[in-house]
């Protein structure tokens, strides 16, 4: 690219989200239609190509863009595989097609085109020098010889407009002074389950029939019924050890009895943290066995990712700098006045050791990915920094393109809109029963619109969550 000699302007590219800060989303196998305003000074002919490549590809693939009117151009490519793709646009003043256009105009008006024919021969010879295949080079030189040989004007014009000649020119023209759009945009290609899935939420501790604490093995017996109802995702609340020192009792009371199991979102005890399983449910191996059993029924297991701790979590002793401490020396628990969640303490993302905190939280996700999980229902992501989610999801998707993240964010539309841009694949919405007209723009960013229907079911001990896309 030679600045100052690039005459083509490329602007108003779509799709492009926030000046290319965030990727658009598609499902593998779908096409990405790209449009842009492309024009130049004067009357020369412009040509444009849409360039695209998947992550880690070294060369650009390209497809021609088509003029659709009013300086607007369009091209498309398919995202055939899961993963991240980049795309951009290149456009240039097409010297050969400009010559074609002028030649035909002059011929049609009866003007002398002898010099124009020689000009065309020179253009073709110049491009023939760059032809890498000898047969193609011979074809190009044959056209040049025809033009220089004094052939009939009508035959020359007919030859100049042949598609075969245009194809050869397009193949070897080095596009001098081509303009490249100033940004490489990106698109994330997800798997079909990201586009449409039906979720069933199940508390595994409720799956026994003898009054005892349920286990993963107990849950296996319910898989045929879940599958028969048409669900393809089964979601467990957190399965980790539950805090004990400030465990809540029934109906959120501050005093718990010996039989109170506590909130599974109060994660962590002396028995372990986010990389451990509540022993009452079984072992990690039992959990992995359940994942395999669920797959036999066409069901995928979704795991809850709740980035918070109970006061008993090992992180509190090992990394006190990751939490907020009050003037009286006690750790700050979660509050949403007047509500209090004494059994849960949030992480302090403003800690000076934020980099170590981010890396550790990522290691939690990778730990469960290695155990077979590819879908995460993220608890309250809108209460954590947006920059963290953009980094975490973007980084993980480069290595695990089949990941799906559901945002459990009952919050304002613009915040949900922002979470969608950051990389969350699915989300809830409670705006469907607001008594005002909502503007819910999630679909305009992700190309997906999600509705969740929640209602209790008497046949299963849990909540029925139906997610589907329009």
Residues carrying an active site annotation: 379, 408
Among residues 73, 78, 21, 30, which one has the least CA distance to residue 49?
Answer: 73
CB 250 within 8 A of CB 258: no
In degrees and rounded to multiples of 5, residue 277 shows phi and psi of -115, 140
Separation of alpha carbons 229 and 167, rounded Å: 55
CB atoms within 10 A of CB 436: 6
> CB within 8 A of 209, min separation 6: which ones?
218
| Dihedral sign (CA 318, 321, 325, 329) | positive
Separation of alpha carbons 137 and 435, rounded Å: 71
> CB within 8 A of 387, min separation 6: which ones?
none
Task: Return the H-helix or E-strand segment holding 375.
Answer: strand 375-379
CA geometry: angle at 48 spanning 42 and 52, to 5°? 155
Separation of alpha carbons 381 and 82, rounded Å: 24
Separation of alpha carbons 81 and 190, rounded Å: 8
27: three-class secondary structure by DSSP:
strand
> CB within 8 A of 312, min separation 6: which ones?
243, 244, 245, 268, 269, 270
Residue in the block written with tokens 């980094």: 391
Crossing angle between the packed helical segments 95-108 and 153-160, to the nearest 10 degrees: 140
Separation of alpha carbons 124 and 142, rounded Å: 10
Upper half-sphere CA count for residue 180 (Cβ side, 13 Å): 15
Helix extents (H) in 371-468: 386-399, 413-422, 442-446
Task: Report the DSSP beta bridge partners of residue 160.
Answer: none
Among residues 212, 208, 214, 270, which one has the least CA distance to residue 239?
Answer: 214
Separation of alpha carbons 466 and 462, rounded Å: 13
């Amino acid at each position: 690219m030679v600045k100052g000699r690039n005459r083509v302007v490329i602007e108003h590219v779509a799709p492009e989200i926030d000046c290319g800060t965030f990727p658009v989303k598609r499902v593998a196998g779908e096409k990405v239609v790209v449009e842009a305003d492309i024009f130049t000074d004067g009357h020369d002919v412009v040509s444009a190509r849409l360039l695209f490549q998947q992550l880690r590809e070294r060369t650009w693939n390209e497809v021609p863009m088509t003029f659709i009117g009013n300086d607007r151009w369009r091209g498309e490519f398919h995202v055939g595989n899961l993963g991240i793709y980049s795309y951009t646009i290149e456009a240039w003043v097409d010297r050969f097609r400009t010559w074609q256009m002028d030649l035909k105009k002059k011929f049609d008006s009866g003007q002398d085109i002898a010099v124009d024919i020689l000009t065309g021969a020179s253009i073709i010879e110049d491009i023939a020098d760059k032809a890498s295949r000898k047969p193609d080079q011979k074809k190009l030189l044959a056209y040049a010889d025809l033009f220089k040989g004094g052939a009939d004007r009508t035959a020359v014009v007919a030859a100049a407009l042949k598609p075969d000649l245009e194809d050869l020119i397009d193949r070897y023209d080095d596009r001098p002074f081509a303009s490249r759009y100033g940004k490489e945009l990106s698109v994330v290609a997800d798997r079909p389950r990201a586009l449409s899935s039906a979720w069933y939420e199940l508390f595994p501790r409720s799956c026994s029939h003898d009054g005892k604490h349920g286990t993963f093995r107990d849950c296996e017996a319910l898989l045929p019924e879940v599958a028969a109802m048409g669900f393809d995702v089964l979601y467990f609340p957190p399965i980790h050890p539950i805090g004990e020192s400030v465990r809540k009792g029934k109906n959120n009371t501050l005093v718990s009895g010996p039989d109170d199991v506590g909130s599974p979102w109060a994660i962590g005890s002396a028995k372990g943290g986010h990389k451990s399983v509540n022993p009452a449910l079984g072992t990690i191996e039992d959990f992995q066995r359940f994942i395999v059993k669920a797959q036999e029924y066409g069901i995928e297991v979704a795991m809850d990712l709740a980035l918070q701790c109970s006061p008993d979590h090992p992180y509190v002793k090992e990394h006190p700098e990751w939490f907020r401490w009050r003037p009286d020396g006690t750790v700050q628990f979660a509050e949403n006045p007047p509500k209090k969640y004494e059994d849960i303490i949030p992480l302090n993302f403003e800690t000076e050791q934020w980099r170590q905190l981010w890396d550790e939280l990522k290691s939690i996700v990778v730990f469960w990915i290695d155990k077979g999980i590819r879908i995460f229902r993220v608890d309250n992501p809108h209460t954590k920094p947006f920059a963290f989610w953009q980094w975490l999801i973007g980084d993980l998707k480069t290595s695990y393109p089949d990941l799906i993240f559901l945002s459990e964010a009952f919050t304002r539309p613009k915040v949900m809109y922002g979470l969608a841009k950051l990389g969350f694949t699915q989300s809830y919405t409670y705006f469907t029963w607001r008594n005002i007209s909502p503007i819910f723009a999630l679909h305009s960013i992700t190309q997906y619109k999600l509705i969740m229907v929640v209602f209790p079911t008497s046949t299963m001990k849990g909540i029925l969550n139906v997610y589907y896309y329009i």
